[in-house]
Amino acid sequence: MPYLAQLIYRSRATPLLRRGDMPAFVRAIAAANERQGITGALIFDGEYFLQVLEGRRRQLDALLTVLKHDPRHEAVVVLRMDAIKQRAFPDWGMSLVPLRWDDDSAPPADSIAADGLSPLQRIATQGDERLRLVIDAFARGHWRDEAPSLAQTALRPSRITPPHHPSVEAVTGDEVSFAFQPIVDTATGRVRAVEALVRGPQGESPAELLARHRGSDLYEFDLRTKAVAIAQFAALDLDCDLALNVLPMTLAHVPDAAAFLLQALQSHGLPPERLMLEVTEEEAITQPTVFIAQMQALRSAGVRVAIDDFGAGYAGLSLLSEFQPDKLKIDRTLVRDIHEHGPRQAIVRAVTDFCLALGIEVVAEGVEDAAEWHWLQQAGITRFQGFLFSRPQLNGVGEIRWY
Ligand code: C2E
Ligand code: MN
Ligand code: MN
C-alpha cells in the first residue's frame, strides 16, 4: 500500500520563470498536481521557493523526478520526504504564498481568508510543529544561501596532473601491495596527502584481506603490512603526507606498535609529521578509552590522527567531544547527492563549523560528481578525495583531474 507522504523542498526561480508569467505557472502546476492527487502549499520570497506537497509516496517520487528537470527553477533541495497521517493542506490548492508582506503594504485582498489570517499564518496553523519550524528557518534565511546553478560549474577538468610511478620498482615479494589515492586541496591546487589502500596479490580488496585473519593474527598483519605501505610511499618520493588506515586495536594489541611505525618511517628518512593515521569512527567508538590513550602516545611522537568514515552509521559526536582529531573525513554516505539533500547539507554544515572552530582539517571522501564537489566547496570545504579527482592506483598515483 503506497503511503501518504509529505515532501518539502526548496528551489530557486530561474530568470526564465522570473521573467515569465508566475500566476499562469502556479495555475498549471496546481492543475497537474490535482490530477495526481497531490495537494500542498507554495511559499515564495521573490527568488526562492519552499514547497510543501502531500500525496501518495509513489506520486511524490515521480513528481520530484520531473521537478528536478523543470528549467523554471533550479537548486532543488529536498528537506523532507516522510510518511504523514493526514494531509495538512487537503484543500489548499497550490496558490502562491509570499513569504512576507512589506510592513506598509497590505496583503492582497484575495489572499486574506475569512479568518483574517494571511496565507503564511494559515500555513502555520495548518501544518504540524515540524513544518512551522522549517518555514521559520526558511524565513530566517536558512535554505536561501547562494546556490549557483550547475551550468556555471566547470564540469570538465581545467588541468590534469599525469600519473606518477615510483622511480624504484615497488617493494616486491610482499604479501600485499598498496594502491594510492590523492587527497587534493582545490583551493591551493596541491596534493595534500596520498592515502595507502591495501591490495592482495590477486587484487583482493581490504575487506577480503582482513577477513582472512583472526584475533592477534589480524592485528599483526595490519601492522606489518604498514611497513610495505611506508616503503612504497618513500619510493614514490612525493612531497605530500602519507595517510595510513589502521585498526585501533592493532596499536593496543601488538606490543611496540607505535615504535614499529616510527622505525619504518625513520628507515626511509620520513619524519613522523608526514604520517596521518586514519581510524574509522566505528572502531574508535567501541573502545574509546583504549583508543584515546593510544592516540595520545602517537601524537607525542608527532604523528597525526584522522577520524575516517565520519557519518557512516555511527554517531561520533560523543567521541568528538572527548577526542579531537587532526583531520575528519566525511564519509560518502553524507557526500552522496549532497547538492539535492537538505538533511545531509545541514549535517555537513554543522560538522564543518565544528571543525573550523577547533582547527580540525575537513576532507570530503568519495566525491564522484561535480555537483557534489561544487556544493561542498561553497560550504567551505577545500579538501577532497574521490573518483572525480583521481582513482586509487596500484603501486603509484593515478591521473589527477583539477576543476
Ligand atoms: P577508506 O579508508 O574510507 O578508503 C577509501 C575507500 O573508498 C577506498 O576503498 C577507495 O577506493 C574508495 N573510494 C575512493 N574514492 C571513492 C569514490 O569517489 N567513490 C567510491 N564509491 N569509493 C571511493 P578500498 O580501497 O576498497 O578500501 C576500503 C576500506 O578498507 C578503507 O576505507 C579502509 O577503511 C580499509 N583499508 C584499506 N587499506 C587498509 C589497511 O592497510 N589497513 C586497514 N586496517 N584498513 C584498510
Ligand atoms: Mn581511510
Ligand atoms: Mn573513509
* pLDDT tens string 165-201: 875 555 556 889 999 999 999 999 999 999 999 999 9
Least-confidence region, from 94-108, 111-125, 188-202, 271-285: 94-108
Least-confidence region, from 57-61, 126-130, 221-225, 260-264: 126-130
**What are all long-range contacts of 15-20, with beta carbons under 8 Å and residues at least 24 apart?**
16/71, 16/72, 17/72, 17/73, 18/47, 20/72
Q: What is the pLDDT of residue 147?
A: 58
In the block, residue with C-alpha cell 563549523: 353
Q: What is the pLDDT of residue 167?
A: 57
User: How large is the average pLDDT for residues 38-50?
Assistant: 90
User: How large is the average pLDDT for residues 61-67?
Assistant: 95
Measure 209 CA to ligand 1 centroid, in angstroms: 13
Going by CA atoms, what residue is nearest to atom 8 of ligand 1?
197
Ligand 1 pocket test, candidate residues 245, 246, 276, 336, most atoms within 8 A of CB:
245
Ligand nearest to the CA of 278: 2
Q: What is the pTM of this model?
A: 0.89
Ligand 1 pocket test, candidate residues 174, 180, 197, 400, most atoms within 8 A of CB:
197
Q: Closest by alpha carbon to 151, among 18, 20, 14?
A: 14
User: How large is the average pLDDT for residues 38-49?
Assistant: 90
**pLDDT surpassing 60 at residue 112:** no
Q: How far apart are CA 245 and CA 355, in angstroms?
A: 21
Measure 315 CA to ligand 2 centroid, in angstroms: 18
Q: Are strands 39-44 and 48-56 parallel, antiparallel or unpaired?
A: antiparallel
Measure 198 CA to ligand 1 centroid, in angstroms: 8
> Residue 233 is which amino acid?
F
Q: Closest by alpha carbon to 52, among 115, 110, 101, 95?
A: 95
Q: What is the pLDDT of residue 113?
A: 55
In the block, residue with C-alpha cell 497590505: 106
User: How large is the average pLDDT for residues 29-47?
Assistant: 89
Q: Given pLDDT bands bounded at 50, 70 and 90, which one contains residue 326? A: very high
Can you read off the three cell numbers belonging to residue 177? 601491495
What phi and psi values does residue 118 have, to the nearest 5 degrees? -75, 160
Measure 308 CA to ligand 3 centroid, in angstroms: 5
40, 57 contact by CB (below 8 A): no
Q: What is the pLDDT of residue 181?
A: 98
Q: What is the pLDDT of residue 197?
A: 98
Going by CA atoms, what residue is nearest to atom 15 of ligand 1?
386
